[in-house]
Amino acid sequence: MCGLDPSQASIRHAGRPAEPAQGDNGGSAPSGRRRGIVPRTPAAPAVAPRGVWSRIIAVPALRTVFAACKEGGRAMIDREMLINAFAFNLAMVKRETAGLTHADSLIQPPFHSNCLNWTVGHLAENRNGILKALGQPPVLTDEQAARYGYGSEPVTCDAPGVVRLEELLAAFERAQEGIAAGLRQVSDEALAQPVRFAARDMTLAGRIFFQYFHEAMHGGQLEILREMIAAHKRA
């Protein structure tokens, strides 16, 4: 457990240490404010906005959906659109991790969350599952996938089983080719087959889209973790 406080040993959600008791603000932080969050100050300015919205609508597949919605119509999400959406997530992850080291990825957030190493590993594990579902070669070993899967222990230091950040990012990027190949090859009949995933009944197509959503959710956390790492290094 790398010296993790025993009181945080129980897992509430995929790799995340247990939350403090309700109402616990550490005894010193003002009520309603989370303890440990580094405030933005003139000496530690925030990163300039990156124009995320303009980047989103620049993706051709997503632009088609937005245009159809604007016109009051409906657009089906086809295979190429979903492949492009996964590619957008890849670009987002690469942007938010650019210049970070493996040591950076192990810095622990001062709030209730996982470190960047676990989050990127979980993203790679999520794609690994998509590849298997589509009959494509995995990018992680079973041991690596288990280390970063749902309910796994938090990554709190460079312990045995923790994969280096650069290896996790490489696996995440390699998975893009397999996802594209798998989506182009899988039949409509296979996509319509019922599956059980995440304690839900759905089709294979529904599972893949659910995992796309899951990837986008965790990918969005990387911007906050990057800011946290920068604040930690400025302190």
Position 106 in a domain: yes
Q: How far apart are CA 154 and CA 108, in angstroms?
A: 10
Domain with 132 in it: what CATH number?
Answer: 1.20.120.450
156-167 pLDDT, tens digit per residue, is 999 999 999 999
Per residue in 37-72, pLDDT tens? 333 333 333 343 444 444 444 555 455 544 544 445
Q: Is 60 a member of any domain?
A: no
Residue 22, domain member (yes or no)? no
Contact between 46 and 227 under an 8 Å Cβ cutoff? The reply is: yes
Domain span at residue 199?
Answer: 79-234
Answer yes or no: is pLDDT of 217 > 70.
yes
Q: If you ran DSSP here, which 8-state letter would residue 157 be given?
A: S
Using only C-alpha atoms, the chain has a radius of gyration, in whole angstroms, of: 19
Look at residue 49 and tell me if it is in a domain.
no
Is 50 within the bounds of a domain? no
**175 found inside a domain:** yes
**Taking 80 as the threshold, does the pLDDT of residue 227 lie above it?**
yes
pLDDT in tens, 6-40: 334 333 345 554 444 333 333 333 333 233 333 33
In a domain, 217, yes or no: yes
**Residue 32 forms part of a structural domain:** no
Share of the chain above pLDDT 90, in %: 65
Number of domains comprising the chain: 1
What is the reported pTM?
0.73
The CB density around residue 136, as the number of other CB atoms within 10 Å, is 20
CA nearest to 130, candidates 56, 215, 61, 193: 215
> What value, to the nearest 5°, has the Cα angle with vertex 220 and ends 229 and 202?
140
